Amino acid sequence: MSIVLSGQVRADQYDRSSTDRVGDFSIRDTNTPWTIEHSGYSEVLAIGIPRERLEGALGSARLFAGVTVGGDLPTATLTRSFLGNLLSLGDRLTPQVAESMVSTGLDLIVASLAERLAREAQRPVQDSVVVQRARAYLEAHLHDPTLDPPRLAAAAGVSLRRLQALFRAQDRHISDWIWHRRLEAAAKRLADPGCLHMPLGTLAYGCGFLSQSHFSRRFKERYGLSPRDYRVRALARGAEGGPEGRPGRLTPSRRPS
């Protein structure tokens, strides 16, 4: 990902020629040669992104590499601001929080690309914009226990039936996905030493659960441990370190059918 901070940059890749100005960004496919020209003095911020993270949401890199995402697009503005803040504060975040923030940043990049492509593209890309918009809204309102599928559909700008159809196409149900993200967020906080001071009730409410008992029941169904036991085991593994000195990771248990 190449973000122009000052000056102007012209690039050619595949059959596309683009001129990026301050605030614009583009994706360069590192598996394919490209040319780049700087008009006078310019500054560019380059960020490496896992190929599968973009192609998994948008298809082959050939569809979006070399396309200029204008800095005036709402999602691009949000993405640029978020990444700038993340870069400036990254060294103050715990590894777990940094990982979560990076994931959010990647979601914003995908949403920006999808919005740009939707201006000239087919329905599948427009559908991707809707799903990414719903995901971003959920992440921003994960703590709100009143968040439900109708409200998520309204935030994404589509009918509930339309959003349900998009999720069914991905073998998902909206409600299940909301609870999945809440449980994942809770698990990350339980494993984060920086959240050790946080009572389980406070942590549960912060992830959108109505009560600690409801949280404990759903958490144990997914992870096979109570939140308290999960926290103890995760922090112990993190202290010991996993393979090559990395913190160990607990995985969800399979729910009985």
**pLDDT grade, residue 7 (50/70/90)?**
very high
Kindly calculate the radius of gyration of the chain based on its CA atoms and give it in whole angstroms. Answer: 21
Reported confidence tier of residue 256, pLDDT bands at 50, 70, 90: very low
184 has a pLDDT exceeding 80: yes
Give the amino acid at 53.
Answer: R
For the chain, the domain total comes to: 1
Q: Is the pLDDT of residue 171 over 90?
A: no
- Give kind and range of the element (H or E) at residue 163: helix 160-169
Q: Which of 70-74, 88-92, 153-157, 240-244 has the lowest mean pLDDT?
A: 240-244
Helix (H, G, I), strand (E, B) or coil at 131: helix
Cβ-based neighbour number of residue 161 at 10 Å: 9
* pLDDT computed for residue 118 by the predictor: 76
Element (H, E) at 36: strand 35-38
Task: Confirm whether 202 is domain-assigned.
Answer: yes
pLDDT at 246: 42
Supply the pLDDT for residue 116: 86
Q: Is residue 247 part of a domain?
A: yes
For residue 114, CA distances in Å to 102, 110, 196, 224, 232 come to 18, 6, 38, 37, 41
Domain that includes residue 246, residue range = 191-257
What's residue 250's pLDDT?
56
User: pTM, whole model, 2 decimals?
Assistant: 0.49
12 located within any domain: no
CA 188/CA 116 separation, integer angstroms: 32
Q: Give dist(CA 93, CA 90) in Å, integer.
A: 5
Share of the chain above pLDDT 70, in %: 89
The Cα angle at residue 29 between residues 25 and 35, in degrees rounded to 5: 75
Of 234 and 253, the structure prediction assigns the larger pLDDT to: 234
Residue pointed to by tokens 């896992």: 50
Q: Which residue has the higher pLDDT, 102 or 18?
A: 102
Residue 247 has pLDDT above 50, yes or no: no
Six-digit token string for 154: 């309204």
> Could you tell me if residue 207 is inside a domain?
yes
CA distances from 29 to 112, 128, 147, 157 (A): 17, 21, 38, 32
**The pLDDT of residue 120:** 61
Residue 242 pLDDT grade (very low, low, confident, very high; cuts 50, 70, 90): very low
Is residue 38 within 8 Å of residue 19, measured between CB atoms? no
Q: How do the residues of the chain divide into helix, strand and coil, expressed in percent and rounded to 5?
A: 55, 10, 30
Instruction: Label residue 209 by pLDDT band (50, 70, 90).
Output: very high
CA 143 to chain centroid: 16
Task: Note whether residue 239 is domain-resident.
Answer: yes
CA angle at residue 123 from 27 to 149, to 5 degrees? 95
Q: Which residues contact 243 (CB under 8 A, 6 or more apart)?
A: none
Residue 45 inside a domain? The answer is no
**pLDDT-derived band at 243, boundaries 50, 70, 90:** very low
Residue 165 falls inside a structural domain = no
Residue 71 counted as domain residue:
no
Residues 6+ apart with CB under 8 A from 199: none
CATH classification at residue 246: 1.10.10
Spatial CA neighbour of 113 closest among 87, 132, 94 = 132
Could you tell me how far CA 35 lies from the centroid of its own chain? 30
